[in-house]
Chain A
Amino acid sequence: MNSISNYFNTSIWTIVSFVLVIFLILIPLASFLSYSFFTVDGTDIIHEFSLFNFKEFFVDEIYIRTFVRTIFLAIIVMTCCIILGYPVAFFLARYAGRYKYAILLMLIIPLFMSYIIKIYMMRSILGYSGLINKVLAMAGLIDKPLEFFLWNQNSVIITLVIILLPLIIIPTFTSLDKIPQNIVEASFDLGCKPFQAFKYIILPISFPGLVVGSIFVFILALGDFVTPQLVGGTSGFTYGKIIYSNFGMAFNWPFGAALASVLLFVSVIIILLTNYLTKRLNK
């Protein structure tokens, strides 16, 4: 009797869970995917199957070119984050001693601080009469302000790195922090040079954390549309910005959905690949 009622209970829990998930996540995703096969007529959306949007995507090469460029941009952002973030996580885990959690907290707090404000303020740091140009001019390194930093791809990259950097430091630190000091010392006793110890012990153990952080940075940089809008100027537009404009002024939701479904496809592949990779590494 008891087991029957238990079984009944669990199956109700299962059903409720799945209904919730299906209505909140899966049906919205499905309706968005099906929109990518619709077309638009003026302000009406025609609910009929057509491959028009995808044809447009492949025929007009500006979309593919922007997409490829955005992927490169995200890779550059990710690489910068790794180059800057890994040494910081390494320093925290190995040398910062009892201050490590305090410094880690200092690095986490900016993550929760106003996203829009950070981007906006990057303008007054990178701009023509901004902080960087002023400091360089005061140091006597340049005669007139550099235009290298604002209203182009560089500004988008710098801003995204500043915003996303904590995301790579946190997981990398967590996996580095797990390495016991005596393992490293044992490798020294066995005749390892510092670089060898890093290459064969520290790097492999911290790799899964690094991968998780990198993927977060990559995907967020890939889909961002606010940063290019605010600091990108005319030459710094990205794929995300094109998607967003189709939902705003251009009012072509089906085409926007089609563009976004390409983004979804690439993101899902990357997530599954990472999942597979980290599982293999953990074995």
Chain B
Amino acid sequence: MTRSENYTKYLLACLTGLIVAALYAPIVLTIFYSFYKSRKGKVDWGSFSYEPYTKLIFERQILESLMNSIYVGVVTVICSVIIGFYFANYYHTSKSKMKEFLQFIIFLPFLLPPIITGLSLLIFFREINLPRSLNTVVIGHTIFVLAIVFKIILNKLETLKPSLMESAYDLGASKWQAFYYVLLPNIKLSLIIAGLLAFTISLDETLITLFLIGNDTTWPIKLWAKMRVGFSKQVNASVTLILILTSLLVLLIASIISRSERKIMY
């Protein structure tokens, strides 16, 4: 390594460090303010307490919005994984020329600005007289994450050898048996990764949800509403807990991916 390359290396390392710091600054501040008080921009160092976390149990509105978010997330995962698997399997097995077009449409809600997906569903639901509720939010989230779920499952299907299913049929398996005993165990990990990713995205989706939400609120919408009056420490505490949950989910996804990759290598 030459000297100038060494300099570039350290310069780039510093930049990377700075950017990691910048990305985490808002998050660290939130966690900080869930423990400490501040008045007029000055931190009161003696005010450390974890009381907001215990008080959180009495905040019915926040807890309710959290439960709503988890409900939406779980139903979104179920719908998007089933539909995503269906499309991936169709795309993988079909010889129809229309399938490229189909893929393009599936990717549209993911590629277009979320505001467009949100308002087009809003107008559609109004035209068919479907009142806004948590279930309309589920539909919005499902459409939004469908492209990612589809792509993850499709990538896995494409690594499987066609002989796998053929030999299952040759050995006398029915369609359902071949799916349940042969295909499903082979793509199980990709379904789990896709589902976890869908849940993580749904938990924090704001832009589409703002258009589709009815009288119930999900957790990001509750934050959005609370922001005008300023955050209480309990809100900061709930944010901290959700941050821990999402980081754990992402770490879980990463560890599953790296483990399944190691399996392929051996």
Q: Interface residues, chain A, CB within 8 Å of chain B?
A: 10, 13-14, 16-18, 20-21, 24-29, 31-32, 35, 84, 87-88, 90-92, 95-96, 101, 103, 105-110, 112-118, 120-122, 124-125, 129-131, 134, 162, 165-166, 194, 219-220, 222-226, 230, 240, 243-244, 247, 253, 256-257, 260, 263-264, 267-268, 271
Give the most central of A91, A114, A118: most B CB within 10 Å. Answer: A114
The answer, among B87, B112, B142, for a CB contact under 8 Å with A17, is B87
Complex interface: chain A residues within 8 A of B27 (CB): 110, 113, 117-118, 121
Report yes or no: A90 in contact with B12, Cβ–Cβ below 8 A.
Answer: yes
Contacts of A20 in B (CB 8 A): 83, 86-87
B residues less than 8 Å from A101 (CB atoms): 254, 258
A90, closest chain B residue (CB): B12
Q: Which residue of A lies closest to B38 (CB)?
A: A124
8 Å CB contact of A225 from B106, B204, B207, B239: B207
Q: Is the CB of A116 within 8 A of B224?
A: yes
B5 interface contact, C-beta 8 A: yes
Q: Are A105 and B254 in contact (CB under 8 A)?
A: yes
Q: Is B73 an interface residue (CB 8 A)?
A: no
Identity of the chain B residue whose Cβ is nearest the Cβ of A223 in the assembled complex = B113
Q: Which of A84, A244, A267 contacts B15 (CB 8 A)?
A: A84
Residues of the A chain whose Cβ atoms lie less than 8 Å from the Cβ of B246: 109, 112-114
Across the interface, which residues of A come within 8 angstroms of B160, CB to CB? none
Q: Which of B24, B29, B114, B231 contacts A110 (CB 8 A)?
A: B24
CA distance A87 to B9 in the complex (A): 10
Among B16, B22, B102, B220: residue with most chain A CB under 10 A: B16
A224 partner residues in chain B, CB cutoff 8 A: 113, 115, 207
Q: State A96–B15 Cα separation when bound (angstroms).
A: 13
The stretch of B46-54, B60-68, B118-126, B185-193 that contacts the partner chain: B118-126
B78 at the interface (CB under 8 A from A): no
Q: What is the chain B residue whose CB lies nearest that of A219? A: B113
How big is chain B's contact interface, by range?
35 or more
| Given A29-B116, A114-B239, A260-B116, 8 extra CB contacts under 8 A | A17-B87, A25-B106, A31-B123, A108-B250, A112-B204, A114-B242, A116-B227, A117-B223
Query: What chain A residues lie within 8 Å of B220 (beta carbons)?
Result: 114-116
Task: State whether A263 touches B113 (Cβ < 8 A).
Answer: yes
Contacts of A96 in B (CB 8 A): 16
Residues of B within 8 A of A116 (CB): 206, 220, 223-224, 227
Cα A142 to Cα B10 with chains together (Å): 29
Report the separation of the CA atoms of residues A168 and B249 in the bound assembly, to the nearest whole angstrom: 22
Interface on chain B toward A: helix, strand, loop, or mixed SS? helix
Report Cα–Cα, A20/B204, bound state, in Å. Answer: 25
A-B contact pairs, 11 of them (CB 8 A): A10-B94, A16-B86, A17-B90, A17-B102, A20-B83, A26-B105, A31-B127, A112-B204, A131-B25, A225-B207, A226-B210
Contacts of A112 in B (CB 8 A): 200-201, 204, 246, 249-250
Report the Cα distance A194→B7, complex, angstroms.
13
Chain A residues touching B, majority SS: helix
A13 to B91, CA, bound (A): 10
B243 at the A interface (CB under 8 A): yes
Could you say which of B4, B23, B111 contacts A165, with CB atoms under 8 Å apart? B23
B201: chain A residues at CB < 8 Å are: 112
Residues from chain B with a CB closer than 8 A to the CB of A118 are 26-27
State which residues 94-111 of B face A: CB under 8 Å: 94-96, 98, 102, 105-106, 108-109, 111
- A121–B142 Cα gap in the complex (Å)? 29
Chain B residues positioned under 8 Å from A14 (CB to CB): 90, 94, 96, 98
Asked if B116 and A263 sit within 8 Å, CB to CB, the answer is: yes
Q: What CA separation (Å) do A195 and B197 show in the bound complex?
A: 39
Q: How far is the CB of B99 from chain A (nearest CB, A)?
A: 8
How far is B94's CA from A16's CA once the two chains are assembled, in angstroms? 13
What does the 1/0 interface line of B206-222 toward A look like (CB < 8 Å)? Answer: 11001100000000100
Query: Can you name the residue of chain B whose Cβ is closest to the Cβ of A25?
Result: B105
Instruction: Give, as a whole number of angstroms, the nearest-CB distance from A17 to chain B.
Output: 5
- In this assembly, does B184 line the interface, its C-beta being within 8 Å of a C-beta of chain A? no
| Smallest CB-CB A-B distances: 4 pairs | A223-B113, A129-B41, A121-B26, A32-B120
Closest chain B residue to A103, Cβ basis? B16
Least distance between B191 CB and chain A CB atoms (Å): 19
On whether A226 and B227 interact (CB within 8 A), knowing A91-B12, A110-B23, the answer reads no
The reply to whether B113 and A162 form a contact with Cβ atoms under 8 Å apart is no
Q: Which of A107, A247, A267 contacts B122 (CB 8 A)?
A: A247
Q: Smallest distance from the beta carbon of B73 to chain A beta carbons, Å?
A: 12
Q: Who on chain A is nearest to B219 by CB?
A: A114
CB-CB under 8 A from A106, the residues of chain B are: 20
Which B residues touch A87, using CB under 8 A? 12, 15-16
Complex alpha-carbon distance, A263 and B97, angstroms: 30
Give which listed residue, A109, A114, A130, A267, contacts B223 with CB less than 8 A: A114
Cβ-defined contact, A121 with B115, below 8 A? no
Contact B116 A267, beta carbon cutoff 8 Å: yes
